Every structure is written in C-alpha cells, then in structure tokens.
C-alpha cells in the first residue's frame, strides 16, 4: 500500500436524514457527510454557493484602518505603491489592487522584488531600493510584510507608511504599520491567550482573497462617500484573478475560498482579460479550465518568470490591455517555463542521488539539502516533489556566497513555520505557514538545522503519520458507478486542497484481462478491473507495482469521466490497492 487507509464513518440514520432533506442520492449524501456537511442549510450552501453569502469585509481585523489610510492618501494625492511577491498569489494580489485603485482614482505604482538580489517580500534590500526610487508614499504590501518589522521601520523614518495585507504566520516583532490585515495575527493572539481562536475569521484565505476583501471594503466605503467610480466598478470581474491565486497557493477550497473558486473559474472561462486569454491559449487548456488546469498549466507559467528572473512579465500579462502584447508576453512565459522545467529536473536528479546514498527512513524524519549550484527560484518545486516521494518535511536550499535561500514543504500534522521559529537562531530569515515556508541560512548551518528539526518531527509525529493518509468516503459496488452518479458527485466541486475529489473503495475485485504499461518510460499502468458483474478501465499514474495477478484485491479509486475522440466513458483513477 502507498497510503494509510481510513474509512470515514457515515452513520446510516444521519445519511438517510440528509438524503431525504436535500433529495439527493445516497452516494452524494455520504460524500457530504464525510466532509462534515450535514445540516440542510449547510448542504444547500455547499452545493449551491452564492456570492451574496460572502461575509462583510470589515469583519476582518484592521480592515477599517486599512481603508481609512487609503482614502486619506487619496485625499492627499499621495502615491500608492502596491508591493507584491513573485508567486502567483502575490502577482494576482498586485494586479487586482493596482487595477482597482487606479480605476477608483488613486495614483498607483507597482513593485515586485527581485528573487535573486532582494529575496522574499519586503526585505531590507527591497526597502532601500524603494527609498531610492520613490518619493515618500503609502506602501500597500500584499502577500508579505507581516515579518518585515525592520524594513518598515527604515521606511517609516524616511516618511513612508505601510498597510499590510498578508496571510503568512506572524513571528517576532510586530511591524509598525498603519494596518496589518492578517487573520493569522489574531490567531497568534488566541494561542497566547489574548483572544478566542474562534474569533479569528478568514483564516483560510490566501492573500489574493484578502485583497479581494479589501477591494470590496474600498468599494463599499467609496459608495458611502459618493465616489462615482465606486458605483460603476463591478468586482465580479476580478474573480478570475482570485481563483488563480487561491488555487495556486494551495489553500483549502472550503468556505469563502470555495465561493471564490466556483465563480472565479466561471470568470476565467469568459474572461475578457487579454493576458489570461493568451495564457490559456499558449497552455492549451480546455475551453472551461478547472482547478487542475489552473494548478498544472496556468500557474506554472505565471510562476516561471518570478522563479528564474523577475515576476514583472507575469504582472504585465495580467494587466495587459493589448492583445498583441499579451500574446508575446504569454509566449515569453511559456519559454521560461520550459527552461524552469529543465533546471528543476537537474536539481531533482541531484537531490535524489544524494538521498539514495544517505537517506534512512528509520533515522531521517526530515530532509534538508542544499547546494551552491541550485537555482533558488526552483528549489520550492523540488522540495514539493521530494516531499511527495519520501513523505517527510523537506527543505531544499540554493544560492551562493555566505547566505543560501531555501523553500520547505511539510506533511499533514507538522507545522513547519512554527517549528522553524524554534530554529530561528540558525536562520538569517524565515517565514511562511504550516505547510510551506521560506528560509535564508548560512551554508554552514544546514547540518545544524537538519539536526534540530529531525527530533522535532520525530517527537511530534506518530510514526504512522509518515505514510500519507487516504480518506475513503464510502464503499461501493462497481455497479453504483454510473454517468448519473458521477454527474451528482460533480456538484461537490471545484476540487482541490481541502476539498478533494471523491475517494471510494471497491472490495474483492480481480483482473478482467492483464494490465499493460504505457507512457514515457512505461511509468503508468492501465488495468481492467471487475467484480464479475461490472468492468471498468483504471489508470494508475506513476505506478510502482501491479495488483496481484491471481486472486482478489481491494481497490481505492476516484471515478472520473474521460473523453477521447468525442467519446465519453467512465474511468477509475487508481489511488491504491491491497490484497483481499
């Protein structure tokens, strides 16, 4: 088995109550109940999300102060610098707020840091560059800034002021900003006994979601103040950007994120944005892109610019108004993405060679590797791949000189950012959230970091958690898998982080005919499984072993619709199996 199987308990009595109240199929009722959705109102809200159910943005702590600061700057004709980050969340956040503020009459400039020379976020190097480039202005730091106390102090001394809109965990001294719009700050206060954790709303929003909430608050306030442009601006036109950033940043697609993605994907389908139309064309997405197209086709191309050079090209694409400019920029991003893939493959191969020699599963609970030849813009993707292959918290570093920069990816149950806080004496800089973080470290401290983190992971994770969990939502007969039932289950989408596709179990199957390998290097397996009454084709991607040729086996799978040459069929995406 690749995974640690667990069957979600769905009490029959509760199951029947949901079925009858919502008039839905048993399979859909079981899936809803397994996701913690049981009340009639909950079911209705989940299956039919509505924009009108989005909460008042002014419920977010310090949102009022942020809006007041922006309107004060507008009345003084003060420049607004939207300072973003170089990933998709940061670039979409920058594009959204710069466009909204410009349309509403603010003077706006944008600034995205250079990954190589300035590092992540509002760093000291970036702050010094701002001082040389701009007159004293209001800096709107998005997707960064929460841990930038020293750079913001430097800017304050020069007459700048700062509003922060961020979703990363807070640690260290609070920056002296006019407003800090970050739900995690309130959550930290709750952990320290300052407030009730339940009073920390919007904790799952990424930065572009928070920026949309800020835009909503600005428009509401503008309408109260009689601002004509605020009456005309339709924020629904920005939901395509919100969906891009939300899906790319791997935040849970629950609550308001689910609403943003449901309507944002529709907006992406019909977008009038020349840049997104060109990006969809160069990425060859389906006419109606879903979460997987965003995550694996659109987001990597937007990320490529910031990973290798500067994210300015990605921002230029999102803000493009000319179709020819959009097409040429999309082609540049596509070329950069292919270059990124080559660099990533080289680094991944080198990491794997090291781990083949040095890694011992019973001893090594964390993976920390670095090399001066590894490109800092790609180490995050490599960390993600290595984490998935070894299922250990993983940090991969690169760079040159006396400071390397690294990216970390974690596994369920281990809060990486909080654990890095316990290693702060070994780090020059760090930040992030529970599942992903960034660090700056002296190369000589790499082994010490590995040694410090290893017992933290060992002591905080039960050994069984070092195998990924596979939550199965129900046991079915193959005969229950029909076009009708799949259309029913599609109502649970959009699927992604925190809201995965339905995962089911069928017992006592056997091969209807021998499996066959396919694809480059024969990495994938096609099999035909049957219970003696119904037979389905199954695909096991990146397969490691074949179910037993003789005898029966239990199969964990996700049912999917597959279209080939205009023909639609049901196919099983094989997740795992075990001998019956």
Concatenating the DSSP letter of every residue in 309-364 gives S-THHHHHHHH---HHHHHHHHHHHHHHHHHHHHHHHHHHHHHHHHHHHH--TTT-
Under CATH, what is the fold of the domain 359-466?
Diaminopimelate Epimerase; Chain A, domain 1 (3.10.310)
Burial 558-573 (b: 16+ CB within 10 A, else e): bbeeeeeeeeeebbbb
Look-up of token digits 């106390």:
149
Edge to edge, the sheet with strand 429-432 lists 367-371, 394-400, 403-409, 436-441, 429-432
Would you state the pLDDT for residue 17? 87
How far is 180 from 65, CA to CA, in rounded Å?
9
CB 370 within 8 A of CB 383: no
Report the half-sphere exposure of 410 (CA within 13 A, side-chain side): 22
Which pLDDT value is given to residue 194? 43
Which residues have CB under 8 Å from 246's CB, separation 6+?
89, 206, 208, 209, 253, 257, 260, 261, 264
What three-state secondary structure class fits 77? coil
Do residues 143 and 170 make contact, with C-beta atoms less than 8 angstroms apart?
Answer: no
Residues 69, 138: contact at Cβ < 8 Å? yes
pLDDT score for 321: 96
Q: Label the pairing between strands 108-111 and 553-564.
A: unpaired
Q: What is the mean pLDDT of each run of 10 residues along the chain (580 residues)?
A: 87 86 88 88 90 95 97 97 96 98 98 89 96 97 96 98 94 94 76 47 92 98 97 97 96 94 96 97 92 96 89 97 97 96 97 96 96 94 95 94 93 93 94 89 97 96 90 94 93 92 96 91 92 96 81 95 87 94
Q: Which pLDDT belongs to residue 291?
A: 95
Q: In degrees, to the nearest 5, what angle opens at C-alpha 142 toward C-alphas 136 and 145?
A: 75
Residue 260 near residue 212 (C-beta atoms within 8 A): yes
Give the architecture (CATH level 2) of 470-579. Beta Barrel (2.40)
Are 359-466 and 470-579 the same fold in CATH? no
Residue 529's pLDDT is 96
Q: Locate the domains of the chain by residue range.
A: 57-236, 359-466, 470-579
Check residue 189 and give its pLDDT.
57
What does the pLDDT read at residue 196?
Answer: 44
Show Cβ contacts of residue 571 under 8 Å, excluding neighbours closer than 6 positions: 536, 537, 538, 539, 559, 560, 561, 562
Query: What pTM, to 2 d.p., does this model score?
Result: 0.90
Which residue in 280, 322, 248 sits closest to 496, CA to CA?
248
Both tokens of 295, joined, read 């995550």
Q: Which two tokens stand for residue 191?
A: 């952990």
Contact 503, 557 (CB under 8 A): yes
pLDDT at 20: 86
Q: Which residues contact 42 (CB under 8 A, 6 or more apart)?
A: none
- Encode 110-179 in three state secondary structure: EECCCCCCCCCCCCHHHHHHHHHHCCCCEEEEECCCCCCHHHHHHHHHCCCEEEEECCCCCCCCCCCCCE
Element (H, E) at 528: strand 524-530
- 572 neighbors 559 (Cβ within 8 angstroms): yes
Distance CA 115, CA 129 (A): 14
**Quick check: helix, strand or coil at residue 505?**
strand
Q: Which CATH architecture has domain 57-236?
A: Alpha-Beta Complex (3.90)
């Amino acid at each position: 088995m690749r995974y640690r199987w667990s069957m979600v308990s769905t009490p029959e009595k509760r199951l029947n109550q949901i079925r009858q109240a919502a008039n839905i199929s048993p399979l859909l009722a079981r899936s809803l109940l397994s996701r913690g959705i049981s009340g009639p109102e909950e079911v209705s809200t989940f299956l039919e999300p509505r924009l009108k159910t989005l909460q008042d943005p002014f419920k977010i702590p310090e949102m009022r102060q942020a809006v007041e600061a922006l309107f004060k700057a507008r009345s003084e004709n003060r420049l607004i610098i939207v300072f973003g980050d170089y990933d998709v969340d940061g670039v979409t956040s920058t594009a959204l707020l710069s466009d909204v503020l410009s349309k509403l009459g603010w003077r706006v400039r944008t600034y995205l840091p250079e990954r190589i020379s300035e590092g992540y976020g509002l760093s000291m190097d970036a702050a010094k560059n701002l001082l040389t480039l701009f007159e004293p202005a209001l800096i709107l730091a998005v997707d960064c800034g929460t841990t930038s106390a020293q750079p913001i102090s430097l800017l304050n001394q020069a007459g700048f002021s700062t509003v922060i809109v961020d979703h990363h965990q807070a640690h260290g001294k609070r920056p002296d900003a006019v407003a800090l719009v970050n739900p995690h700050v309130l959550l930290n206060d709750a952990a320290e006994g300052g407030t009730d954790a339940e009073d920390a709303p919007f904790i799952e929003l990424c930065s572009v979601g928070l920026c949309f909430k800020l835009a909503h608050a600005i428009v509401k306030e503008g309408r109260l103040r009689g601002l004509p442009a605020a009456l005309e601006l339709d924020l629904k036109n920005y939901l395509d950007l919100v969906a891009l950033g939300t899906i790319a940043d791997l935040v849970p697609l629950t609550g308001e994120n689910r609403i943003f993605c449901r309507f944002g994907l529709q907006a992406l389908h019909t977008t009038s944005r020349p840049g997104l139309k060109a990006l969809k064309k160069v990425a060859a997405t389906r006419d109606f892109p879903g979460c997987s197209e965003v995550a694996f086709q659109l987001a990597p191309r937007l990320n490529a610019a910031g990973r290798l050079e500067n994210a300015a090209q990605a921002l230029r694409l999102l803000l493009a108004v000319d179709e020819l400019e959009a097409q040429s920029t999309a082609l540049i991003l596509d070329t950069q993405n292919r270059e990124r893939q080559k660099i990533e493959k080289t680094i991944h191969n080198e990491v794997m060679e090291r781990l083949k020699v040095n890694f011992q599963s019973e001893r090594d609970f964390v993976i920390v590797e670095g090399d001066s030849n590894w490109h800092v813009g790609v180490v995050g993707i490599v960390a993600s791949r290595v984490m998935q292959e070894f299922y250990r918290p993983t940090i991969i570093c690169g760079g040159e000189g006396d400071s390397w920069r690294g990216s970390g990816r974690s596994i369920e149950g281990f809060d990486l950012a909080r654990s890095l806080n316990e290693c702060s004496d070994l780090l020059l800089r760090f930040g992030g959230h529970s599942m992903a973080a960034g660090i700056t470290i002296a190369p000589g401290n790499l082994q010490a970091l590995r040694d410090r983190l290893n017992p933290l992971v060992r002591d905080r994770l039960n050994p069984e958690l070092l195998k990924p969990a596979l939550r199965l939502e129900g046991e079915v007969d193959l005969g229950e898998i029909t076009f009708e039932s799949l259309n029913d289950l599609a109502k649970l989408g959009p699927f992604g982080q925190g809201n995965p596709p339905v995962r089911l179990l069928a017992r006592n199957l056997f091969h209807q005919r021998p499996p066959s390998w396919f694809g480059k290097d024969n990495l994938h397996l096609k099999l035909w499984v049957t219970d003696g009454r119904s037979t389905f084709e199954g695909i096991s991607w990146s397969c490691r072993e074949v179910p037993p040729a003789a005898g029966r086996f239990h199969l964990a799978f996700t049912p999917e619709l597959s279209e080939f040459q205009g023909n639609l069929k049901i196919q099983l995406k094989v997740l795992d199996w075990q001998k019956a």
